[in-house]
């Protein structure tokens, strides 16, 4: 295969332009318009939007019926940017603190190169997905029929990773990111005067017991070889020094790396909460939401991703043994519908994701484009 020659200066300009117009989940109108305009200028076919602001496009070459899909995310976060760079956010209180501006730029660069060179045989779909951050844009694409409307054989995603060196990729088969669930617990007690607790059913004391008991799920009820995080992230009860309140509210998140653990944890959490409350004479109301499933790479497609990265950076720059992240990713919904692989590309020693001082590293733009192009060339290789 010949070298992939790219216009790095143009990629940087696109990335900075996108960085300046960040938009939160399902509001990515300017971003989607920017993407559509570029794709049409490349001669790429752009379809009607999905999930409100999702852009789906395709490019076909040759006679093969094989296809792959490449996905980038569009949305930003409700964070006030502190980078003070000349291209910083022009939308007050919103910034690209996760690098989706870079992901979008890399996929645009791949679309342009593939459209210009046509050095593959088959169809490549370019998926610019909205609402990755918390709102499940990937799930919305599935619900609206992405895999029914388009014949997609396999799908691939990529995310930048601060702390992973520039020039490196992290690629592994199986679970790579955790399932993400949330819960709200309302504990109903009996309020009264703080000087006479014996006449009350104290929901605060009960809440403390519930918080401690929930940690036994991971420490005593789960196989130590499995992974699970149960975190209480919000506690609210009472408004006065001398009043024991009627109720207490707890909220939190559950992270797990396999579907079985995710399902079992729901029942264990409910049982622990109800039994703990019963021991103190209180009652509980539980609202539990499954947000994102585990992100699980299929083995064969992981090998394909590895080979594409190997051709670009060499064996020494591919990490295959990095542990899964307990963070979550709604690319999981797409992997539930299709074979595929989700990898990480090193962003270098930058601020962490979701940090107001974070910025995508422009040094890796061309590397990401080359990965997408090489993956397409390999998976849709011309015969003969």
Is the same domain home to 141 and 23?
yes
Is the same domain home to 74 and 164?
yes
In this prediction, residues 334-353 reach a mean pLDDT of 97
Pick the last residue of a domain from 265, 292, 319.
Answer: 292
Please give the pLDDT value at position 216.
93
For residue 159, what is the domain's CATH number?
3.40.630.10
Question: Across the chain, how many H-helices and E-strands are there?
Answer: 11, 16
Would residue 2 count as lying in a domain?
A: no
Is the same domain home to 166 and 191?
no
Work out the pLDDT band at 220, boundaries 50, 70, 90: confident
226 has a pLDDT exceeding 90? no
Would residue 3 count as lying in a domain?
A: no
Phi, psi (deg, nearest 5) at residue 124: -115, 130
Give burial (CB, 10 Å; 0-12/13-18/19+) of 199: exposed
Work out the pLDDT band at 1, boundaries 50, 70, 90: low
Please give the pLDDT value at position 384.
58
Percent with pLDDT over 70 in the chain: 99
Pick the last residue of a domain from 292, 316, 345.
Answer: 292
* Model confidence pLDDT, tens digit, residues 36-80: 999 999 999 999 999 999 999 999 999 999 999 999 999 999 999
* Model confidence pLDDT, tens digit, residues 73-131: 999 999 999 988 999 999 999 999 999 999 999 999 999 999 999 999 999 999 999 99
d(CA 71, CA 57): 11
Pick the last residue of a domain from 264, 292, 320.
Answer: 292
Contact 98, 353 (CB under 8 A): yes
d(CA 253, CA 215): 12
Structural domain boundaries enclosing 287: 179-292
Is the same domain home to 310 and 370?
yes
Which pTM does this prediction carry?
Answer: 0.92
Place of tokens 């591919």: 318
Is the same domain home to 28 and 173?
yes
If one counts the domains in the chain, the total is: 2
Work out the pLDDT band at 365, boundaries 50, 70, 90: very high
Residue 258 carries which DSSP code? S
d(CA 154, CA 150): 11
Is the same domain home to 266 and 363?
no
Would residue 384 count as lying in a domain?
A: no
Q: What is the dihedral of CA 92, 97, 103, 105, to 10 degrees?
A: 40
d(CA 71, CA 130): 11
* Model confidence pLDDT, tens digit, residues 131-176: 999 889 999 999 999 999 999 999 999 999 999 999 999 999 999 9
Is the same domain home to 25 and 149?
yes
User: Would you list the DSSP string of 90-151?
Assistant: SSTT-B--SSHHHHHHHHHHHHHHHHHH--SSEEEEEEEES--SSS-HHHHHHHTTHHHHS-
Is the same domain home to 198 and 51?
no
For residue 273, what is the domain's CATH number?
3.30.70.360
d(CA 378, CA 304): 8
């Amino acid at each position: 295969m010949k070298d992939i020659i790219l216009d790095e200066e143009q990629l940087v300009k696109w990335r900075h332009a996108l960085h300046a117009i960040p938009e939160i989940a399902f509001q990515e109108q300017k971003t989607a318009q920017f993407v559509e305009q570029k794709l049409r200028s490349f001669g790429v076919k752009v379809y009607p939007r999905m999930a409100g602001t999702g852009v789906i496009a395709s490019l076909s070459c040759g006679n093969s019926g094989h296809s792959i899909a490449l996905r980038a995310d569009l949305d930003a976060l409700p964070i006030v940017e502190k980078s003070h760079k000349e291209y910083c956010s022009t939308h007050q209180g919103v910034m690209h603190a996760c690098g989706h501006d870079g992901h979008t730029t890399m996929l645009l660069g791949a679309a342009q190169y593939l459209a210009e060179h046509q050095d593959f045989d088959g169809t490549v779909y370019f998926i610019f997905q909205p609402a990755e951050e918390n709102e499940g844009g990937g799930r919305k694409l599935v619900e609206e029929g992405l895999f029914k409307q388009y014949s997609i054989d396999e799908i691939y995603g990529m995310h930048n990773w601060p702390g992973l060196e520039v020039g490196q990729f992290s690629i592994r088969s199986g679970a790579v990111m955790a399932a993400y669930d949330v819960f709200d617990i309302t504990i109903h007690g009996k309020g009264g005067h703080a000087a006479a607790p014996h006449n009350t059913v104290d929901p605060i004391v009960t809440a403390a017991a519930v918080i401690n008991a929930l940690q036994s799920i991971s420490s005593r009820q789960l196989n130590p070889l499995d992974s699970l995080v149960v975190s209480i992230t919000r506690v609210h009860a009472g408004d006065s020094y001398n009043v024991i309140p009627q109720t207490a509210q707890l909220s939190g998140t559950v992270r797990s790396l396999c579907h079985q653990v995710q399902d079992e944890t729901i029942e264990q959490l409910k049982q622990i909460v109800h039994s703990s409350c019963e021991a103190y004479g209180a009652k509980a109301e539980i609202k539990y939401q499954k947000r994102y499933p585990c992100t699980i790479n299929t083995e064969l497609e992981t090998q394909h991703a590895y080979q594409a990265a190997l051709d670009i950076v060499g064996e020494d720059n591919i990490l295959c043994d990095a542990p899964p992240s307990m963070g979550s990713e709604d690319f999981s919904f797409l992997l539930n519908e299709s074979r595929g692989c989700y990898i990480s590309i090193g962003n270098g020693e930058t601020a962490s994701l979701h940090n107001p001082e974070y910025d995508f590293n422009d040094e890796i733009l061309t590397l990401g484009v080359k990965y997408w192009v090489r993956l397409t060339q390999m998976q849709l290789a011309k015969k003969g």
